[in-house]
Amino acid sequence: MDKLIVKLSGKNIYQHPFLIARALSGLCQKVKLGVVHGGGPQISETMEKFGKKPTFVRGLRVTDEEDMEITEMVLSGLINKYLVGILLREGVLACGISGKDGFLFQGEKHLPEEENIDLGRVGEIRQVNTRLIEVLWEGGFLPVVSPISADKEGRSLNVNADWAAAWLALATQAQGLFLFSDVPGVLADPTDPQSLIEELAISQIPRLLEEDKIKEGMIPKLKMIEQVIRGGVGSVFIGHIREIEKLPQLSLDATLFGTTVVDG
């Protein structure tokens, strides 16, 4: 049976609950499915309620100790359980976990290339233990994963959700990784929605990043992709959440509109 990893963006989970739940319900009857979610806007909103101003460095959220608590509350609590709820209503036995559970994602503090920048509790994954995912699949559950990970001491790390999804795809040797967002895919010009790159060769990625055409949250996505493809995950897709409804039909005749990453 095929394995697929789907990443949902915090930017539109709440706008499309039925679309998402129906698509995932159809899909998980056909393949071993893992769902990873982000929560960018919800974390920012909650931080603002606590009087804190969100700041980002190349698409990664600066996360001090207090921000870490807020981030964990929102991602592993609110959003994770919201997704579980909409899936339960659709008849799917969803089980919400975070990257900390069963040491799914063990990581360490992320040190950006710029030496003088400290992103606080932002982490990157070093080791994946898929045992819990396997157990859930064996039991007929759909794993819904918050990207919050644990360092060696079990303390929380804020890991970008695209990175978490990428690591899960690598560790489970999934056939496909689908990153759904609020844009039609990777745009050659981020201000022009018509400039979609439908087929993106991994060899093009370094130049796109250098040319400054890839900004904010698209940076961490593209930074992991080469590793994902080279690591044996068959295909990576980046596209708008609307495309998710075609996923259950994928093995038949459906093709998704967006960016497909190819090895080349």
Task: Show the tokens assigned to 234.
Answer: 């068959």
Q: How far is the CB of 252 from ligand ATP (least distance, A)?
A: 27
Nearer to ligand ATP, 39 or 248 (CB): 39
Nearer to ligand ATP, 128 or 218 (CB): 218
Q: How far is the CB of 84 from ligand ATP (least distance, A)?
A: 17
260 binds, among Mg ion, ligand ATP, none (CB under 5 to 8 A by kind): none
Residues 6 or more apart whose Cβ sits within 8 Å of residue 167: 105, 125, 128
With CB under 5 A as the rule, give the number of residues binding Mg ion. Answer: 1
256 binds, among ligand ATP, Mg ion, none (CB under 5 to 8 A by kind): none
69 binds, among Mg ion, ligand ATP, none (CB under 5 to 8 A by kind): none
213 binds, among Mg ion, ligand ATP, none (CB under 5 to 8 A by kind): ligand ATP
Which residues of this chain interact with ligand ATP, rule CB under 6 A?
Answer: 9-11, 38-40, 59, 161-162, 181-183, 186-187, 190, 213-218
234 binds, among Mg ion, ligand ATP, none (CB under 5 to 8 A by kind): none
Binding mask 193-222 for Mg ion (x = CB under 5 A): ------------------------x-----
Q: Check if the beta carbon of residue 260 is closer than 8 Å to that of residue 237.
A: yes
Q: Check if the beta carbon of residue 105 is closer than 8 Å to that of residue 167.
A: yes
3-state helix vs strand vs coil in the chain, percent to 5:
40, 25, 35
* 27 to 40, 64, 175, 248, 249: CA distances (angstroms): 25, 38, 14, 5, 8
Nearer to ligand ATP, 30 or 54 (CB): 54
Strand ranges in 151-251 using DSSP code E only, listed in sequence order: 156-157, 176-181, 199-201, 235-240
Q: How far is the CB of 193 from ligand ATP (least distance, A)?
A: 9
DSSP 76-103: IIIIHHHHHHHHHHTT--EEEEETTGGG
Task: Give the residues lining the site for Mg ion (CB under 5 A).
Answer: 217
